[in-house]
């Protein structure tokens, strides 16, 4: 909004080109409500902004729901661009990670990788070694 008035999507997109990238992405995210064929690039920029915002706060389920909607709208998701988050340790809570893994096709790979890592970390803490089972069940005498 500019002085309390709604701005057209095209006007918002035009203004965003004059801003620094991080400011531009946030400006687009906060001001574009309706998309059309001319502004599909804004959908992709909104998606990227929301993805990085979510990866900084992975326990936010509202943001995750918004991100899922944007992921379904985006046309040029760049998986390789987001692989840097594989190296970072994004800690998604287990309940959210299990939700993501149950329908992983609906989520961007960067989030699925982090959710998979959270589930694997949980599984690794509950591993019972074969040696312990063998001793407990007297396998060898």
Mean pLDDT score, 35-58: 76
Structural domain includes residue 130: yes
Residues 56-103 pLDDT 10s = 899 999 989 888 877 776 655 555 444 455 556 788 999 999 999 999
Q: For 108-138, what is each residue's pLDDT tens digit?
A: 888 898 899 999 999 999 998 899 899 999 9
- Whether 43 maps to a domain, the answer reads yes
Contact 41, 33 (CB under 8 A): no
Whether the predicted pLDDT of 39 surpasses 70: no
User: Measuring CA to CA, how many Å separate 123 from each of 50, 66, 118, 140?
Assistant: 29, 29, 9, 27
For residue 66, give its domain range.
9-136
Across 11-15, 22-26, 38-42, 50-54, least confident range: 38-42
4 inside domain: no
Separation between Cα atoms, residue 127 and residue 41, nearest integer Å: 46
Q: Report if residue 56 sits inside a domain.
A: yes
Which CA distances in Å does 133 have to 120, 121, 123, 128?
A: 21, 21, 17, 7
Whether residue 141 is contained in a domain is answered as no
Query: In the structure, what pLDDT confidence band is assigned to residue 19 with cuts at 50, 70 and 90?
Result: confident
Tell me what pLDDT residue 2 has: 56
Phi and psi torsions of 99, nearest 5°: -65, -45
**In this predicted structure, what is the pLDDT of residue 42?**
67
Residues 10 and 39: beta-carbon distance below 8 Å: yes
In a domain, 96, yes or no: yes
Give the CA distances from residue 86 to residues 79, 80, 89, 118, in Å, rounded to whole numbers and listed in that order.
Answer: 11, 10, 7, 12
Is residue 3 in some structural domain?
A: no
Quote the number of domains for the chain: 1
Q: Say how far apart CA 67 and CA 55 lie, in whole Å.
A: 11
Residues 23-50 have a mean pLDDT of 72
Residue 1 located in a structural domain: no
* pLDDT surpassing 80 at residue 34: no
pTM of the predicted model, to two decimals? 0.59
More confident call, 102 vs 23: 102
């Amino acid at each position: 909004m500019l002085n309390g008035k709604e701005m057209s999507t095209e006007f918002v997109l035009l203004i965003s080109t004059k801003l620094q990238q991080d400011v531009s992405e946030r400006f687009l995210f906060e001001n574009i409500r309706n998309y059309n064929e001319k502004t599909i690039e804004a959908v992709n920029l909104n998606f990227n902004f929301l993805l990085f915002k979510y990866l900084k706060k992975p326990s936010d389920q509202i943001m995750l729901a918004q991100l899922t909607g944007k992921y379904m709208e985006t046309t040029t998701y760049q998986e390789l661009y987001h692989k840097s988050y594989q190296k970072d340790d994004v800690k998604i809570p287990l309940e959210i990670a299990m939700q993501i893994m149950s329908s992983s096709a609906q989520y961007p790979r960067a989030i699925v990788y982090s959710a998979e890592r959270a589930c694997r970390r949980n599984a690794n803490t509950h591993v019972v070694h074969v040696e312990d089972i063998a001793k407990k069940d007297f396998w060898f005498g």
